[in-house]
Chains A and B, each alone.
Chain A
């Protein structure tokens, strides 16, 4: 059992409030990813959980016990830093066994644990090297090994993959997901990369401007973003977002896009409401009777899929994701449509207005 509970947590530096009103319940063995743009407060949040930052207000509970004033090493956590933070003057083995040595664990037990972790991470042959002699990926694994050896209740990751190149990042993503299963440990992972969040998380916590925007499984968040921010942040290519004004004609609601065109919206809205419409690129299809028309400005062939950018007026581009075949040529005018249930509508406050299915 190792759960983490955040109850109304906030952090201020003097008058500057960087995080506020955070409520979050992290269950045992759960892989939770905190994702958000840089400067949103996600790292501060993680550092507060770790005990590296004091908590201004609220309660932090680990396994039901309040740990606000408990020293970091007594919270039973291990953290993997963005810069790895390996001890440069120690060998890999010494790096990994440092915590055990401080805890007074005897040599044979230390060696056993280090070897065990080294095997899991394929570091066996590197144990006598210094961090400076390792590649980025290897250093990353040592940092993870240092955490594993301590057998913590909760693993904390602070953007651990951001210093790796793209190929290595994908490989480490898979390794981390595998590790989570293998260790069956609670993990809290901070990243600004929504792909990492989508691929690894049991649950995603989207953080923005020091507060939580939405919590949910990756698919929940992808399919039903609560706010415009979440809609735009999660998913690649980004969701198409069109600003519009609601109007009513014969009892039916239409959205006048700021870029000029008009589409019907399957819900009741007060005329004049400022709304934002969102449609995922893969939900848009070429359709000669579709409600939106535009000129193809750029076509990107990615091999298995094609991204087509269509100017729907005033230079506003809509992205369409389709299969291998092109939807046309640059300069062609095409019409586009989408299924009504793939349309997201956000009110003037940026929050989602759920579409009530009509029967």
Chain B
């Protein structure tokens, strides 16, 4: 890999002189080529299919549909409903994870006995596979008859709630938020640990206490990390799928059908490749709006 003729070549062209002594192309190539193919081929295919008439169950439907798929989708109330649900889910979960994440991070940053174990307990949900989380919540906790929640409600004299029938989207939101609070906590906790203790001491000397300290010192310090949490979570939350599949399957009706779930239904249940692809393009556009800002923020960190 190193260019090293035993006899240093005076004949070597002057242009090549300044090249680095190591050629990194073979080291980079596998990663770059694989990721490039992985990015470009499916993307191109999605775009292509999205303007095609293509249904796996109907071999007669072929040829260019142009923007019919989009038109069909965009005029279909199901899409609007799915986008609304997606946004509601993402925004709700984001708000919950940031608020509870900050609370957990601050609580776990304080000194108390058994803090290490408590931190571990707090981040457990993040390591639980989504299907397990969803099923545990759906059955053991939120079941309207035998679930723990209904027992708690009954014991304080309130009627039991049929969570997934009456509040399907919120129930899914609760599960997803529970899964992602640890992520926010972990990142904000790390960020808190880099908060200058002297700055806090100085603020205390100036008379800042409790809430004042939190609003004026801690929260501004966390601002950047919160931005990162929000952006990274958004990317993942836009694709929430398994939780919906095992709890409500998008129902009742369309009440908890989000964009990912709609695409899944269109593609793998209705076999409408063209329509699903058009939905995919819309999902990609949505994600890229967020990704644009996230990538910019992270790239900025590289300039060190």
Contacts and interface: CB of A to CB of B under 8 A. Distances in A.
Chain B interface SS verdict (over half): loop
Contact of B20 (A54, A65, A72): A54
Interface-central residue, B12, B17, B19, by most chain A CB under 10 Å: B17
Nearest to A52: B21
Interface in B1-44: 2-5, 8-10, 12, 17-21
B9 to A, nearest CB: 7
A51 to B, nearest CB: 7
Contact of A54 (B5, B10, B12, B18): B18
Interface string A41-57: 00000000001001111
Contacts, number: 32
A57 B18 CA distance: 8
B8 A67 contact: yes
Nearest to A66: B8
Interface residues of B, number: 13
Contacts of B3: 69
A51 B19 CA distance: 12
Given A54-B19, A55-B17, A56-B18, A69 B2 contact: no
A350 B21 CA distance: 39
B8 A65 contact: yes
A55 B12 CA distance: 14
A69 B20 contact: no
Interface residues of A, number: 14
B18 A69 contact: no
A66 B10 contact: yes
A70 interface: yes
B17 A56 contact: yes
Interface string A249-279: 0000000000000000000000000000000
A217 to B, nearest CB: 32
16 contacts: A51-B21, A54-B18, A54-B19, A54-B20, A55-B17, A55-B18, A56-B18, A57-B17, A67-B8, A69-B8, A69-B17, A70-B8, A71-B2, A71-B4, A71-B21, A74-B4
Interface of A: 51, 54-57, 65-72, 74
